[in-house]
Amino acid sequence: TRPHKDIRSEAGKLPAGVQWEGKGHSDRVLNCHFAVKSPGIPSHAPVLKKFADANIPVFSELEVALAFCASRDIVAVTGTNGKTTSVHMAASVFKAARRRPRVYGNVGEPLSAGVLKIKAKDTVILEASSYQLEDSRWFRPQAGLILNLTTDHIDHHGTRENYIAAKRNIVAWQGPKDVAVLNLDDPAVLAMHTGAASEV
């Protein structure tokens, strides 16, 4: 959590007419069609229960940013360990193939911060954490990589099952023309593809 004075300073850069709140939320936050949750906010936060009770959908920053993305060539990487290394390796492969990779997500700059710089022919390579994936309702990368799975972030997700469910969102809505790259040595990773339509 950032100090209130830092938030106030950032809020001062918002366009005129944009309202904001700090140090908690009033019911004014419910005057919306949908909400975008910062990945760091735990799923048990009281404001999220308010949205649920009001039938207001909550989307991930990742999905909202992708709605404005000119490229549909999306490669997403998740796993408990090795995400950042794998993202940079993938970017090197695409660069060697004379493609223009654009790296975003948990690796550094959020996709929402750079999405308007992405061109239609770019390849977007995303590092996707369980925090980012847990709120995804229809995230469909053309290639989804799951590196490994160990128990992690239980303080945030509550249970191992919730953690796995969040990670599974990287392949859950893929179609038959999409590809899932899985760690064959990890049975938990293989099980995450059960019911998904993508090619392994």
- Catalytic residue set: 83, 106, 153
Q: What span, in angstroms and rounded, lies between the C-alpha atoms of 183 and 177?
A: 20
Residue ranges in 54-129 assigned as alpha helix (H): 61-66, 83-96, 111-114
Q: Return d(Cα 36, Cα 61) in angstroms, integer.
A: 6
Q: Please state, in angstroms and rounded to a whole number, the distance separating the CA atoms of residues 172 and 198.
A: 9
Of 183, 171, 189, nearest in space to 75 by CA: 171
Choose among 40, 38, 18, 20: nearest CA to 29: 20
Distance CA 117, CA 69 (A): 9
Among 87, 18, 15, 24, which Cα is nearest to 50's? 24
How is residue 123 written in tokens?
Answer: 């390849």
